[in-house]
Structure 1
């Protein structure tokens, strides 16, 4: 299965290029931006002010790009570790670490990590920028 390109993260100028390449009307770029960044939809199907034909066209090569955790582990101290799939059998983690006066969120931005923290499996996967 061919992976799809995420729309989330594309600035308006890229969305404008995309709709032009797909033969969609120019105003569709602002509609896409609104759905992605204001309404925060999870799927192209939710973009109801785009025609069904244009939504189907987008879905052929694109996806919103929102990823739900594939696993969640909770500790008695309140720490929560989330595991996300980034495709090709690779995973990244996010760890929420509560403290008395603050909370910390550790987010993996690559597959693998050179820090190799004891609580995090990300560092045990090797290293690959995503």
Structure 2
């Protein structure tokens, strides 16, 4: 379960970072050093973050479920709780508490990143149910 979660989290995070780098280097948008906040290059990627999550996390939940002998509502609830809660904790430490060049303040991450961060968390918590629905339809 956690292997597929880590893979999804890594891919989504890498996509966001690479998108920001693309905006700055190829499209010549301003970086965080050249403008307020996280910079234009990052700001323009925010709406895409939800899309990355709604595509990637259900796919990896589906892959995880494919390895199980049966998939139940209870397994979706458990997976949802674990994946969503780990994400909230990882984000807090990885983007706010541990300082690095791209770290954010609590306000930047939880207030200024609205509505995107809330939609991302809803998406991750919902992903196991989306995958369960796909399995039941197929």
The structure whose Rg is larger is 1
- Give the number of the structure whose residues are more often helix, by fraction: 2
**Which of the pair is proportionally richer in strand?**
1
Q: Which has the higher contact order (CA 8 A, sep 6+)?
A: 2
